[in-house]
Structure 1
Amino acid sequence: MTHVCQLIAFPLSARVGKIRRCAEVLQGSANQTSRDAYWRKTVQQLGDRLEAIGLPTDEVQHQLRQFRHAVQQEYLRRDYVLVHGGKSPDGAA
């Protein structure tokens, strides 16, 4: 009897520390060239790790898109905090 199993990797979009660090580095980079290089290196490393554990290519791409979206949201959140003098957007009406 054989059992079929499915590999489920921890979602990249839930790696809050990695997301925050990535947004911090991107915002602090001196120029677009260094931002692009850091982003390419980060995405390549994450993609390589997911492929190494056996995730299918389409799932790797999905995880990387979700990570990109999470970093963009963190980038916007950090901009908001800077512009509004340290007041975090807490969602209160």
Structure 2
Amino acid sequence: MEEIAEEDIEIEGEDANNKTLRKLEELRDELAMLERDLEDLKERTGIGMNEVLKTLDMLIVAVEELEEKIGHLETRFQNFLDNFPYMLPP
């Protein structure tokens, strides 16, 4: 009985290993496809991954700066609205 259970465990372990190996192969294939796509992009546009990352970083910084400015404008507008009744003639 124990031998059967051990064999079942061994078979299940082999199945899990095979599934893991298949998944690793799939991921390796996907990575190779992504690398080819990046190389194609670089060849077509002359833009490499480093340039893309630098551009994305610059965009993130610009968006953060805009968010700060919008927050400042919202505060100023709210202050204007709060003081508006006092600006009207009686």
Larger Rg: 2
Structure with larger RCO (C-alpha < 8 A, sep 6+): 1
User: So what's the TM-score if we normalise by structure 2?
Assistant: 0.38
User: So what's the TM-score if we normalise by structure 1?
Assistant: 0.37
